[in-house]
Structure 1
Amino acid sequence: MNGLAAKDANAASPLHENRHQNQKTAIWYKEKATMRYVMCLTILSLTACAAKTQVVGYPPAPDLVAATEAKPKPSPDILTDPAAADRYSSAVEAWGDRVRAAGVRLCGYFKAQGMKVECGS
């Protein structure tokens, strides 16, 4: 019985092992929380140093509407009537001018916001 008692005395009690494991787990959680905190601070500091070329607000709505205007649809009579063909050609030309002008205005807007673009005139 003496040998059995000595063996039990040398062995760590389950309560002691459980407490030791809980301490390890608590330390691990503290280290993990600290790492998350450091990562968040790093990300925030990096975003603060990023280039400030972000667009503030929205471009003018009329320019967006004009830039997405649908092309005029041809009527069947443009095949037989020269006057109808001329009117359609004129409508397409005016449509193209409006869309291009809106595109140039939008380009100027984004350039003023800091985007590196070359805009036509």
Structure 2
Amino acid sequence: MTEKDLVLPLRRIPPLGEFLDALQIKPAGLAAQLFTGVYNQLFVWSTDLRAQYDQYYCVEYPTLAAYLEIAHEIYLEPTELEKTHILKIKAPGGVLEEAYDDNVRDTVIDCVRKLESSYED
């Protein structure tokens, strides 16, 4: 895994409307268009490594943890390994790009984590 890749272990993928609402973005504006792209980067165009393991690699690797560590150099806590989705986002771009001056990566990740924790409660 490269340093620019992002890994998000999640119990569920939030619907677009819930994601925008959590970021306090109105659904019909310019920000909604921009953050629909962010949503797609995180939840649509990412690779679900758990699904990939279950479908293809469970015969090759004894555990999900082994698959993640050996094939992707990803090391997760046991609680993260229990999540339904383990999304790998290859070098997020646009407003999520860390080199972009006004990047909102931390804000978006914090929002996703809040949505996740509210779902777990």
TM-score (structure 1 length as normaliser): 0.28
Bigger-Rg structure (1/2):
1
Q: Of Structure 1 and Structure 2, which has the larger fraction of its residues in helix? A: 1
